[in-house]
């Protein structure tokens, strides 16, 4: 029977409750929901399943061992006692990443090196052969979480972050990461079968994520490589079965209720290409026009915009008119819809001129943002 251990699934700040619900919907019981992660119990096969299906996660970490270490030499000794020969292939390549808050470690790279040395030295003693190691995360990845004297050592079963869903070959400007876009969509009132309109679409990530949800298409099916594939306990047959089950759950009969528009032809080319890689281009209507001219299908539905925030004062002044136009567009064309604006500039958001029903916090990178929700009744009133 496969060993069960703690699985920690990491996410962006403010996404933890959305991720927790996503994990529960996959049939798992949670141990704990932390600010940037969710914990549960499971096996390597469960890690494979989570990597395959989760849309809002960053990494799936499988605990190897917990131990105490106050000093780097104690870390080395504890790591060297782990039977790495049972986990790392003879021709393996490994990388070590970490989060460290320890008075003896001024640079996390030193902690990474100490961990790597302990693993490599043990394998050399047993095999007379050193595995290759370096910064690339496309093979076996070890993650060290070391705070004070408390050490947690994990296999990063994702390898490269699963916040990238593998379809975005042509980004446009500064696109929203796919996991964040999925979390934003899940925070709205949108449901499959409902129109979703995305003016100012950029590279189309918001609409593509919603279309993948409508198809019930597991994002991991778009990816060829994960960290778990480079562990000796990985079973290809198990992975093939999980992928076949996921493919069998895909909904092919989905109505093309997705509309995106942008005034930039380059943005539309990017969105169309990305949608094609994701296999959802046939579900989306692409419109080359200014956002204010976007045609909205009959309600009910959701309209969502991710306008520029403005990093310089001059930009902010120019964008004030745009935000006011968004408010006018909502009032004039979107009655009966739920309207959403994702913005990192609270001052600009005031120019919309409509009363919000919710302000949902998110982070885009390091920038604190809000998803503003507007219930767009006919003749919406301005906030007083």
Residue 50 neighbours by CB under 8 Å, 6+ apart = 7, 9, 23, 26, 28, 42, 57, 60
Name, of 158-162, 164-168, 314-318, 363-367, the range with top average pLDDT: 158-162
Q: Kindly report, residue by residue over 214-246, the tens digit of the pLDDT.
A: 999 999 999 999 999 999 999 999 999 999 999
Residue 268 neighbours by CB under 8 Å, 6+ apart = 201, 260, 262, 286, 288
pLDDT at 25: 98
How far apart, in Å, are the Cα atoms of 250 and each of 21, 182, 214, 238, 244?
A: 20, 17, 9, 19, 10
Name, of 98-107, 180-189, 363-372, the range with top average pLDDT: 180-189
Q: Kindly state the percentage of the chain with pLDDT values over 70.
A: 97
CA distance 366 to 23: 25
- The helix/strand/coil state of 65 is strand
CATH 3.30.2130.30 fits 5-156, yes or no: yes
pLDDT at 380: 45
CA distance 258 to 253: 14
What is the model's pTM? 0.95
Q: Which residues of 314-328 are buried (b: 16+ CB within 10 A; e: fewer)?
A: eebeebeebbebbbe
* Alpha helices (H) along the chain: 16-25, 44-53, 72-80, 108-127, 178-187, 205-215, 236-248, 265-278, 313-333, 346-349
Q: Kindly report, residue by residue over 188-209, the tens digit of the pLDDT.
A: 999 999 999 999 999 999 999 9
The radius of gyration of the chain from alpha carbons, rounded to an integer in Å, stands at 23
For residue 381, pLDDT over 50 is answered with: no
pLDDT at 314: 52
Ranges of each domain in the chain:
5-156, 178-216+243-375
pLDDT at 61: 98
Confidence tier at 157 by pLDDT (50, 70, 90): very high
CA distance 162 to 59: 6
How far apart, in Å, are the Cα atoms of 325 and each of 49, 54, 319?
A: 44, 36, 10
pLDDT at 352: 95
CA distance 244 to 315: 49
pLDDT at 170: 77
- The helix/strand/coil state of 228 is helix
Q: Determine the longest span between alpha carbons in the chain, in angstroms.
A: 77
Q: Kindly state the percentage of the chain with pLDDT values over 90.
A: 88
For residue 384, pLDDT over 50 is answered with: no
Q: Retrieve residue 52's tokens.
A: 């395959």
Q: What is the mean pLDDT of the chain?
A: 94
Q: Tell me the average pLDDT across 354-377.
A: 95
pLDDT at 188: 98
Q: Are 9 and 32 in contact (CB under 8 A)?
A: no
pLDDT at 383: 44
Per CATH, which fold does 178-216+243-375 belong to? Rossmann fold (3.40.50)
pLDDT at 326: 96
Q: Kindly report, residue by residue over 287-334, the tens digit of the pLDDT.
A: 999 999 999 999 999 999 999 887 654 577 888 999 999 999 999 999
Residue 61 neighbours by CB under 8 Å, 6+ apart = 7, 8, 9, 10, 143, 154, 155, 156, 157
Q: Kindly report, residue by residue over 250-295, the tens digit of the pLDDT.
A: 998 998 899 999 999 999 999 999 999 999 999 999 999 999 999 9
pLDDT at 309: 84
Beta bridge partners of 259: 197, 285
- Minimal CA–CA distance to 217: which of 69, 101, 55? 55
φ and ψ at residue 281, rounded to 5 degrees: -60, -30
For residue 106, pLDDT over 90 is answered with: no
Q: Are 318 and 280 in contact (CB under 8 A)?
A: no
| Sheet containing strand 358-364, strands side by side | 284-288, 258-262, 196-198, 302-305, 338-343, 367-375, 358-364
pLDDT at 299: 95
For residue 93, pLDDT over 70 is answered with: yes
For residue 365, pLDDT over 60 is answered with: yes
CA distance 351 to 340: 14
pLDDT at 317: 80
CA distance 146 to 100: 5
Confidence tier at 159 by pLDDT (50, 70, 90): very high
| Sheet containing strand 30-34, strands side by side | 30-34, 37-42, 5-10, 59-68, 150-156, 140-147, 93-101, 132-133
């Amino acid at each position: 029977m496969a060993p069960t251990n703690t699985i920690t699934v990491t996410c962006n700040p403010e996404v933890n409750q959305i991720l927790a619900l996503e994990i529960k919907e996959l049939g798992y019981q949670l141990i704990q929901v932390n600010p940037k992660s969710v914990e549960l119990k499971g096996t390597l096969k469960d890690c494979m399943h989570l990597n395959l299906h989760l849309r809002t996660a960053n990494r799936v970490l499988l605990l190897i061992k917990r131990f105490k270490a106050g000093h780097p030499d104690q870390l080395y000794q504890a790591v060297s006692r782990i039977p790495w020969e049972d986990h790392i292939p003879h021709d393996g390549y490994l990388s070590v990443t970490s989060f460290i808050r320890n008075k003896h470690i001024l640079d996390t790279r030193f902690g990474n090196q100490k961990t790597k040395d302990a693993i490599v030295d043990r394998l050399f003693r047993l095999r007379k052969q050193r595995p290759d190691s370096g910064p690339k995360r496309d093979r076996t990845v070890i993650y060290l979480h070391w705070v004070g004297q408390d050490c947690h050592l994990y296999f990063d079963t994702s390898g490269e972050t699963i916040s990238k869903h593998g379809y975005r070959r042509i980004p446009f400007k500064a696109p929203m990461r796919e996991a964040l876009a999925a979390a934003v969509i899940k925070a709205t009132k949108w449901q499959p079968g409902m129109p979703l309109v995305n003016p100012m679409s950029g590279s189309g990530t918001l609409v593509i994520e919603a279309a993948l949800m409508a198809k019930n298409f597991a994002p991991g099916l778009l990816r060829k490589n994960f960290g778990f594939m480079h562990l000796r306990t990985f079973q290809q047959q198990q992975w093939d079965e999980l992928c076949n089950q996921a493919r069998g759950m895909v909904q092919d009969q989905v109505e093309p209720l997705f509309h995106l528009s942008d005034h930039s032809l380059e943005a539309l080319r990017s969105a169309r290409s990305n949608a094609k890689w994701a296999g959802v281009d046939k579900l989306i209507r692409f419109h080359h026009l200014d956002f204010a001219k976007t045609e909205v299908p009959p309600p009910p539905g959701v309209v969502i915009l991710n306008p520029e925030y403005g990093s310089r004062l001059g930009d902010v002044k120019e964008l004030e008119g745009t935000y006011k136009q968004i408010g006018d567009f909502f009032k004039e064309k979107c009655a009966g819809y739920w309207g959403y604006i994702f913005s990192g500039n609270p001052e600009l958001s005031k120019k919309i001129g409509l009363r919000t029903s919710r302000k949902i916090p998110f982070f885009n990178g390091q920038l604190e943002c809000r998803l503003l929700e507007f219930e767009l009744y006919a003749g919406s009133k301005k906030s007083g």
